[in-house]
Amino acid sequence: MKKYSIMLVFLAFALTAMSQKAVISFNEKEYNFGKVNEDDGKITHVFDFKNVGNSPLVMNRVQASCGCTTPTWTKEPIEPGGKGSITVTYNPAGRPGTFTKTITVYSNATEEQVLIIKGEVNPKQSSVNAGYPVNMDGLLAKNKVVQFNNLAKGTIQTRTLEIMNSTKAPIKPTIESLPTYLTATVQPETLKPNEEGKITISFNSKNYAQWGPVSDDMYIILNGQKKYSDEYKISVYGNVIEDFSKMTLDQRRKAPIMEIPAKSANVGTLKAGAKRLVKFKVNNVGQNSLEIRRIINNNKELTARQTKISVASGKSAEIVMELNTKNLAEGDYKKTITIQTNDPDNTFMILVLSWKIQK
């Protein structure tokens, strides 16, 4: 009878642990901007949400269906009952007509969430150069951004940028000094006055040395005259990932499993100019080696001691970040870094560092 009672107690504890989870609840999941004017510029809507679960909610990443839509979101962990928001910005430039865009929300909640924005863009008043809002000293382009989707390592994606010569003289556009993973060709090589053409850009992820988000720039050279300024700059974005969907059952069974006992660290109260080392312990409880492929850090106060870490099965390692508070004003600080791994269930994970500066 005593053994039976003990088993019931253990079962109750197990059920309680299983019930501890974050649950994300949005006030709305779809927003219609209605009719907007292309000339009015970017439009924005805020999706508010609440953690109605009983465990802290962490937003791993928020991904839009195309480069014309940019999401920003609450990066800090949200306690049960707490609120957060996702701000979605849509750029209608060069995109007249109706639009419907999706934003996928990845978090530690039970399932992915999909948000939708829609509307109709009234085109600019007709002109000779309608549809080409970017002007590079007479060479017009449909946009200044080339957005690639997620690229499984080893795959190639291609995008086309439409261009036009709006001058009365021939223009020969060229692109030089590209990184090894990018190629670009211009057709035709020389554009006659008022002639349209295209730049074909290919991204070969096999030649990209890192994993994760990609942000790069390429510059258009006109008639051999090199001018490396924002006017001639085209931005390129992408995200190199591993396609875990092709794993066999045996491969998944042997996959690495990452455990980080503490995903947040409070450094405490510091004086401006102080330096500290912040460490996050990483365990691999899976069979194959765990590879921390990249530490994505956009904080000038933080520096990663290592950008890549390998952890053997059953072993542990440390992610070490150096905090330098030089020139920081008084106040509370909370920053995040993102790590990318080969753990199929923890491809991306956000770590949080917080501290206070006091004179």
What is the mean predicted confidence (pLDDT) over 21-47? 91
* pLDDT computed for residue 19 by the predictor: 57
- CA dist 67 and 90 (Å) reads 9
Exposure on the CB side of residue 70, measured as CA atoms within 13 A: 10
Measured CA to CA, the distance from residue 320 to residue 292 in angstroms comes to 13
Closest by CA position to 47, among listed 67, 68, 30: 30
19 and 117 share a domain?
yes
- Give buried/exposed letters for 269-282 (b at 16+ CB in 10 A, else e): ebeeeeeeebebeb
Q: What is the pLDDT of residue 340?
A: 92
In this structure, is residue 127 part of a structural domain? no
pLDDT at 3 over 70: no
Residue 53 lies in a domain: yes
pLDDT confidence tier of residue 95, bands split at 50, 70 and 90: confident
Question: Are 261 and 290 within one domain?
Answer: yes
Write down which residue in 122, 148, 179 finishes a domain: 122
Task: Indicate whether 60 belongs to any domain.
Answer: yes
pLDDT at 94: 77
pLDDT at 8: 45
Domain shared by 111 and 155, yes or no: no
Domain-embedded: residue 128: no
Same domain? 314 vs 348: yes
Q: DSSP class of residue 57? A: B
Do both 322 and 224 map to the same domain? Answer: no
Q: What's the Cα-to-Cα distance from 226 to each of 174, 177, 207, 222, 259, rounded to whole Å?
A: 10, 11, 26, 7, 50
pLDDT, residue 17, reads 42
The pTM is what? Answer: 0.57
Q: Which of 193, 217, 241 is the last residue of a domain?
A: 241
What's residue 312's pLDDT?
Answer: 96
Ranking 19-28, 117-126, 157-166, 213-222 by mean pLDDT, the lowest is 117-126
Domain co-membership, 257 together with 339: yes
Question: What is d(CA 275, CA 273) in angstroms, rounded to the nearest whole number?
Answer: 7
Tens of pLDDT, residues 52-73: 989 999 988 899 888 789 999 9
Q: Are 261 and 215 part of one and the same domain?
A: no
Determine, yes or no, domain membership for 74. Answer: yes
**The pLDDT value given to residue 129:** 61
Percent of the chain exceeding pLDDT 70 equals: 92
The per-residue pLDDT for range 154-199, each reduced to its tens digit, is 999 999 999 999 888 999 999 988 999 999 999 999 999 989 999 9
Q: Where are the beta strands (DSSP E) in 188-263?
A: 196-204, 212-222, 233-241, 258-259
Q: What angle do CA 312, 317, 320 make, to 5 degrees?
A: 145
Which residue type occupies 65?
S
Kindly state whether residue 79 falls inside one of the protein's structural domains.
Answer: yes
Clarify whether residues 223 and 262 are in a common domain.
Answer: no
What's the confidence (pLDDT) of residue 173? 94
Same domain, 88 and 58: yes
Mean pLDDT of 79-99: 90
The total domain count for the chain is 3
Nearest Cα to Cα of residue 23 among 113, 115, 86, 117: 113
Q: What pLDDT digit, counting tens, does each position of 126-148 carry? A: 445 668 888 988 899 999 999 99
Residues 42 and 16 in one domain: yes
Residue 210 has a pLDDT of 87
> What domain range includes position 213?
134-241
Domain contains 304: yes
Confidence bin at 225 (pLDDT 50/70/90): confident
CA distance 235 to 347: 26
Based on the fold, state whether residues 9 and 80 are members of the same structural domain. Answer: yes
pLDDT computed for residue 123 by the predictor: 77
Structural domain contains residue 329: yes
CATH number at residue 109: 2.60.40.10
Residues 141 and 216 in one domain: yes
Query: Which of 98, 122, 146 is the endpoint of a domain?
Result: 122
305-317 residue pLDDT tens? 988 899 999 999 9
Residue 181, CA atoms < 13 Å, CB-side half-sphere? 25
